[in-house]
Structure 1
């Protein structure tokens, strides 16, 4: 059973989320604040987290940073904050997806299913397990990235996006294909997602993110990986 940790201080919303998740055969734990969330995450080891940013004891972005210190489990932000800089701050901290309130329960469940799918690892052919460039190395089997001898922490969504690109070196992967593979068919026009996540990957992996040598943009078409 997939277990979800809901971090939200609105009792009515928590009840609605718990009922809907349980009806779909998810296991659910709920936390009304950040401190409780961190304790439950360590004790219960959920498969994913649904997190409000406006918590009574600490900012949700700080909760994301704490979680990312020891786990790569998917984190779906559910927040009333609509400003793009706040969304980017949550994504930069390690969130995998962001839904603004009010929201459709069907959309939330679709995002949850997509997040769970992204964490399922498929066997890789031996020739695609290790990718080495002048700037960084990727061990796809161990899900480990290194740059200049240091480990680089990537979120599950970043990993999924990177895997698609590096396992097809030199091939142009369209925006639509990447969006459908990583976020699902309903997000095939959300090109801003790609811009945000590709910028994050370049910042973490490329020596000069503003002039990338490996993660290349083909304007209006898509992206390709050059080893």
Structure 2
């Protein structure tokens, strides 16, 4: 069965170019040209991945992402013409899995799409029950579920992947570059700032609000690691 990609871009020529090239890679492509329609298609068409432009009529990409994240963990790649870091960080903060800046090369875009879909396929593989417990935190890999103090935490696909990767290798320190390669699945296209933002979002969800981290720790000048308590 073909993987289905929802491409959201108000520039119809750009959307058609993306559609043409993704179809050459044997993807099924659905187009949307405004924010309201994008939200409807995100839920009605059940895409496997969404390419989401920021500047859209009716509702901008950030508003669309907020609505999407209320109901689905479908991977979302933000497509933006904004070079400044603020826009990229805002997208990641709202739950985007990745971003790409216009103008981009088609090969880079296809690589991003395939990398994110590979991660999704891995999560859908049958697994034996595998539970990692660390004090108040319980990570059930087979159920794709994380609980804190017995309550289920709502994580995005990327946040879960990052937490799982670190927890399975507790006490081992990984640089941001290593995490970008291992968790995001590509080496050359990513921005290490993506890792910092995702770590911060994870900490907000799995750590106590006191600011004293117990599980996801920083080795100054080196990277991040998970401490199993």
TM value normalised by structure 1: 0.91
- Cα deviation for residue 77 of structure 1 reads 0.5
> Hey, what's the Cα distance between the residues in 1 that align with 2:143 and 2:210?
25
Contact kept? 1:203, 1:209, Cα under 8 Å: no
* Contact map agreement 1:136 1:148 (CA 8 A) in 2: yes
Equivalent-residue separation in structure 1 for 2:113 and 2:215 (angstroms): 31
1:124 Cα deviation after fit = 4.7
Provide closer, same or farther for how the CA distance between residues 119 and 14 of structure 1 changes in structure 2, counting only shifts above 3 A: same
How far did 1:217 drift?
1.3
After TM superposition, the structure 1 stretch with the greater mean CA deviation from structure 2, 64-73 or 164-173, is 164-173
Q: Which residue in 1 is equivalent to 2:84?
A: 83
Hey, what's the Cα distance between the residues in 1 that align with 2:126 and 2:20?
A: 35
Per-residue CA distance 1:146-176 (angstroms, 9 max, x = gap):
2244322111111111111111122223433
Q: 1:133 to 1:62 in 2, by over 3 A?
A: same
Give a deviation string over 1:105-128, Cα, whole Å, max 9, x none.
1111110011101112255554xx
When structure 1 is superposed on structure 2, of 50-59 and 37-46 the one drifting more is 37-46
1:46 and 2:47 are equivalent in the alignment: yes
In the alignment, the residues of structure 2 paired with residue 57 and residue 92 of structure 1 have an alpha-carbon distance, to the nearest angstrom, of 22
Query: SS where residue 186 of structure 1 aligns?
Result: coil
Cα gap change, 1:191 to 1:139, in 2 (>3 Å): same
For residues 102 and 54 of structure 2, the distance between their equivalents in structure 1, rounded to whole angstroms, comes to 11
Distance (whole Å) between structure 2 residues aligned to residue 45 and residue 159 of structure 1? 21
CA pair 224-125 structure 1, distance change in 2 beyond 3 A = farther
Q: What's the secondary structure of 1:173's corresponding residue? A: coil
Distance 1:209 1:218 in 2: 19
Q: Which runs of 5 or more residues in structure 1 are unaligned?
A: none
Specify the alignment match of 2:62 in structure 1: 61
Indicate the RMSD between aligned Cα atoms, in angstroms. 1.7
Counterpart CA distance in 2 for 1:204 and 1:65 is 17
Which residue number in structure 2 is paired with residue 180 of structure 1? 181
**Distance in 2 (alpha carbons) for counterparts of 1:175 and 1:125:** 29
Structure 1 residues 222 and 123 mapped into 2: Cα distance closer, same or farther (>3 Å)?
Answer: farther
Asked whether the 8 Å contact 2:92–2:194 carries over to 1, the reply is: no
How far residue 86 of structure 1 moved from its aligned partner, in angstroms, is: 2.0
Q: Does 1:7 align with 2:18?
A: no
Correspondence for 1:32: 33
Distance in 2 of aligned mates of 1:104 and 1:201: 31
What is the CA–CA distance in structure 1 between the aligned matches of 2:158 and 2:136, rounded to whole Å? 21
Q: How far is the alpha carbon of 1:134 from its aligned partner?
A: 2.9
Match of 1:144 in 2: 145
1:92 aligns with 2:107: no
Q: What corresponds to 1:154 in structure 2?
A: 155
Mapped pair 1:134 → 2:161: no
